[in-house]
Amino acid sequence: MNRLFTKILLFSGTFLIFSCNAVKRLEPDENLLVKNQIFTNDQEISNESVYSQLYQRPNTRFLGVPLQLHFYNLARPNIDSILTEKFLENERKKRRLTNLLSEKQFEKFLHSRVEFNEWIKRTGEAPVIISKKEVQKSANRLQSWYWNNGWFNVETDYDIIPVIGKDKRARVEYHITTHEPYIIDSIETDIASPALDSLYNLHRTESKIKSGAQYNTLDFNEERDRLSQLFRNNGVYNFDQEYITFDADTLNTDHKINTTLNIKNRKINSSDSTAREPFKIHEISKVNIFTDYTYENRNDRISDSAKIGNYTVYSFDQLGYKPEAITDAIFIKPGNTYSDLARTRTYTRLNSLRVFKYPNVQFIPDPADSSGTDLITNIFLTPLPKYSLGFDFDISQSNIQKFGIGFGGSLLIRNIFRRAEIFEISGRGSVGSSTDAAGSRNNARFFDISEIGADMKLSFPRIFLPFNTEKFIPKYTSPFTTFSLGLSSQQNIGLDKQNFTGIVNYSWTPSKQLSNRFDLLNIQYVRNLNIANYFNVYRNSYDELNNIVQSDNVVTDPEFLNDNGDLIIPQGTENFIDGVENNNGTTQGLTEAQRKNIINIRERKNRLTENNLIFASNYTYLWNTKNNLYDQEFSRFRFKIETAGNFLTAVSKIGGLPKNMNGNYEILGVQFSQYVKTELDFIQHWDLGNDNVIAARAFGGVAIPYGNANSIPFTRSFFAGGPNDNRAWQAYDLGPGSSGGRNEFNEANMKLALNLEYRFNLFSSLNGAVFTDIGNIWNVLDIVQDEASTFNSFADLKDIAVGSGFGLRYDFDFFVLRFDIGFKTYNPALPVGERWFPHYDFGHAVYNVGINYPF
């Protein structure tokens, strides 16, 4: 039935789309542009850089259909006259509507019709009607593009060709003849200022203009940028790109260009004349820092000051900062030559402190210097408020609680120890209603579940280590040391966890593209208070036990069962498993497979209910070429490695601590985890133009227990499925391997994933996507022995799951609301031969809602 409904829906949609007339709003002498073709030297090309020069592009299409154009055509071009004729000139209808709605509401009704019609136009896409004027402009622009790339004798022409068999449709062919390109031959210089000439010659080999290369205007623009940056980073404070010009001699040179770089002396304008003088190298003579500058106090007298090194720190009130806290963020140093890079790094570092508003850095000539080369730097800083308060409130619903209320508050204190530190403390709490909370122990109360938590964080703008890190973590990388503590406690939620975290981490950012984070200590202690509730939470495991107990071949102690023949939680389940494990005779008739399944359930229960102590260190490297939120083509690579338990193992061995009955060390009665974990995550986006993007992600991760542990803590394991992973499965439903997701929260210690997505614009802010998600999780080198769940060789890659689907995304500018539909394309949980396209219909699809893009 679901497949029939899907087919009817697809057929109806297809029929509706293809029955639309794209040219119904065009005049008889107008043609819709359906295609552009560019032929260079009689060869058709597909270079998007060339096609981007055209002023007119065909209407955007989805699967060959101009959806936005069809939507635009739904609007009425003469809506005002239609409404006038239909309502205003029809007195009978107007009077009836006015009596029904009132005069004011009738006017609003007409206005809403007009606004809705305009919204359709704005959301849709107007037909691209071929204009000879625009086509000629495109031909001229193509000629300019080829000229800028070295074909100075290029010729362009075009033809407008009607589409045979289709009225009011045409394509445009552009014909380009390039002729022989021009090549850079000699490169000469005419630099008037000796200081600039010297700098240029020192860095001449870095020039973007190379002898023997084909002429390209972009190379000359990049050379201007390079030289401007070179000069301004080496003391030439007054330099500007307008001083750089190029002469290109092509007369009688046989398609070769003799180039001359010209840089004139600095222009000095006075009231009645203009003079020129050589550029000079400027040095910083003084750096003055005003720590509490505001527009209101700009004329007040300085009340406090301090001198540290060659810096002077001023305050209009009592100085509120340790001077070195400010000077450590200043890279403009007295005695150094002026540098744009130093100024940029100063801005970046001061902003990263989060204690000042946007800083103002000014340079003025030093009146005490007769040579005119010394500069005084004045840095004006305006403090942000010392205290910031925040409150939040939310209402939620989930599969755990029918209704929940959350609330929280936070306090941020800036410059708490007068060295630009940030101290943050926050608290959160929630109460909810659940009829299934902890086995319905408190059904008499409406709010029967709760959670509370608190976090503290203290950030220092420097690296706290007992040795100097300046050589490999320079100050310009914006280093921070952060100490964090967190506590949380649950009541009547799952196993009633108590969680403690403590983190000491260092972060630094060498460039806009690179960032590093090193957690020297990452401590987590998880305590489960209500282990007896395990089988109420993990119902699949309980159902498996019950199915075994109720098998015809199994006889067990009636004391373990209730009146319905089900195992009693927790006494019955525990006694039943203990009896099987100890073989005490309370249960008879079990097959070997049933016995093994019971042992696996016990092992999983022990692993998920044991208290965890994780004493870890980790390092994360992130490389990201994305320039801003609107950058459509970029790469992102993340590498993370984490080790846990090595320090505690060494302490236990040195201290001669005893081992528990399992042969493992314990700290404060808790067996601590020991493992090594690594993750690799790569994302690549390709911009195809016209809001079309291909996005890909590859992920691989593995966590190997060893030494004091034979499994990975739940909080450090991998899971698969969900709106940001394989969207054909719900979160935690996929894997491990071909086991079929038997448990509620399926996790494992190895993961592979590959995602590919094609994104395109449908109309206005509504975008579409089609995607394929590939991946799974497995157990490897741990305690799990289930063959279906473990990865033993590359042959197990046959258990990689494949999901595919499509989605809609609405861009609200500040976030994207995403709706994806995933279909199980290859399901490894099914028998071999039945895995491809099982239940490939909307009835068995997974519907995902998310915020922003998954990758």
Read off the pLDDT of residues 503-549 as tens digits, 9 standing for 90 and up: 999 999 999 999 999 999 999 999 998 888 889 888 888 998 989 99
Mean per-residue pLDDT, 83-95:
72
Residues in a beta bridge with 750: 702, 778
Q: What pLDDT is stored for residue 399 in this prediction?
A: 57
Confidence of residue 20 (pLDDT cuts 50, 70, 90): low
Name the more confident of 413 and 596: 413
Q: What pLDDT is stored for residue 9 in this prediction?
A: 47
E strands, 733-840, in order: 750-763, 766-778, 801-811, 816-826
Q: What distance in Å separates the CA atoms of residue 175 and residue 37, rounded to the nearest whole number? A: 9
The residues near 660 (Cβ < 8 Å, ≥ 6 apart) are 666, 671
Q: What pLDDT is stored for residue 446 in this prediction?
A: 73
* High-pLDDT (> 90) share of the chain, %: 61
Mean per-residue pLDDT, 7-22:
53
The answer to whether 453 and 489 have CB atoms below 8 angstroms apart is yes
Name the more confident of 443 and 205: 205
Q: What pLDDT is stored for residue 22 in this prediction?
A: 75
Q: Which of 95-109, 257-271, 329-343, 546-560 has the lowest average pLDDT?
A: 95-109
pLDDT at residue 16 is higher than 50: no
Listed ranges 83-87, 95-99, 800-804; the one with the highest mean pLDDT: 800-804
Mean per-residue pLDDT, 267-294:
90
Q: What pLDDT is stored for residue 620 in this prediction?
A: 98
Q: What pLDDT is stored for residue 401 in this prediction?
A: 66
The answer to whether 810 and 768 have CB atoms below 8 angstroms apart is no
Question: For 425, which DSSP code?
Answer: E
Neighbours of 295 (CB within 10 A): 7
Q: What distance in Å separates the CA atoms of residue 850 and residue 817, rounded to the nearest whole number? A: 6
pLDDT in tens, 788-845: 899 999 999 999 999 999 999 999 888 899 999 999 999 999 998 899 998 888 989 9
* High-pLDDT (> 70) share of the chain, %: 95
Q: Which domains does the chain have, with CATH numbers?
A: 2-177 (no CATH), 183-277 (3.10.20.310), 283-380 (3.10.20.310), 419-528 (no CATH), 531-610 (no CATH), 616-641+675-855 (2.40.160.50)
pTM: 0.82
Enclosing H/E stretch for 232: helix 217-232
pLDDT at residue 597 is higher than 50: yes
